[in-house]
Amino acid sequence: MAKTPMGFVSLKSLKQGAPDPTAALGEIRRIYFKTTARTIEHDIAHAIELLKSLPTDEDRERAAVFMQGLNEMRNEWERVQSRKRRRSGKNAAGSTSRPKSKAGQ
């Protein structure tokens, strides 16, 4: 059987109803520490669903720390990816930052 990626959220798990607040906070915390650049989008989606299930503002405030951290990681990884794309795009188009030599003119 194929192993599912860590960030995968099955629809079945979302339809089972609201988990108890302690379990939901624990799962959000686990997501925060286990997320990778590859799974961040799925992990955030899963964490949002868990956050929605929290019944009190106090529980949501505790989860907010991890949610902010997930968002910061996603933003950082997006910046890194966009830099890589810009660099590879310039090289692929043939433009370089070096000036042309006088002999080649």
Per-residue pLDDT for 92 more than 70? Answer: no
pTM of the model: 0.66
Domain residue extents for the chain: 20-87
- Nearest Cα residue to 43 out of 3, 81, 6: 6
Tokens of 27: 């799962």
What pLDDT is stored for residue 88 in this prediction? Answer: 84
CB 32 within 8 A of CB 66: yes
Any long-range contacts for 12-16 (C-beta under 8 Å, 24+ apart)?
A: 14/49
Residues 3-47: tens digit of each pLDDT: 555 556 666 555 666 678 999 999 999 999 999 999 999 999 999
| Identity at 9, one-letter amino acid code | V
